[in-house]
Chains A and B, each alone.
Chain A
Amino acid sequence: DAGVTQSPTHLIKTRGQQVTLRCSPKSGHDTVSWYQQALGQGPQFIFQYYEEEERQRGNFPDRFSGHQFPNYSSELNVNALLLGDSALYLCASSLVGSAETQYFGPGTRLLVL
């Protein structure tokens, strides 16, 4: 049983560019959440998707957007990249209404130069 997978593992971009990160949830899970973990910090909640809609959002600007597909996989898009967007981006999947089932992927490390 494959767990949560994320791609790519590493990414380097320059300021002002746009980036798309991808996540495939654990088999049987229908909810995907995204987190940003800056260096030396704990993960911060970006948003959560269920039934292809954004259900909850953390304190992140509109430059951060996402999408969920019918197969429950998800994308995180960040526009107009800033140096401060450099971080490890974690995806977590779960069953709706069951945060205790949440599993995390290995993350995508984004470096903005």
Chain B
Amino acid sequence: GIQVEQSPPDLILQEGANSTLRCNFSDSVNNLQWFHQNPWGQLINLFYIPSGTKQNGRLSATTVATERYSLLYISSSQTTDSGVYFCAVPPQGNTPLVFGKGTRLSVIA
């Protein structure tokens, strides 16, 4: 089945720093999602991004579908950005999401 790999597995940032999280996937997909799981366990949709670039405030994401990777950019990080960031893809058109193992981000003041 499809493999979804995220890097780095862990990241510690000083508040105000910028970071880039990466998601590689092993097969063609027609969608990709980024999620943030906050320290309380809630999973929050960040982006649906099968291709191209999207921005939402301090976060932006870029997916290069032909090269099978996606990047999540966090600028001017804040302590509230801490948590685990997952990317997930549906292996085929109509199948549930396959998740990467996540990047655990800790932003310290």
A and B from one complex:
no
- A interface residues with partner B (beta carbon < 8 Å): none
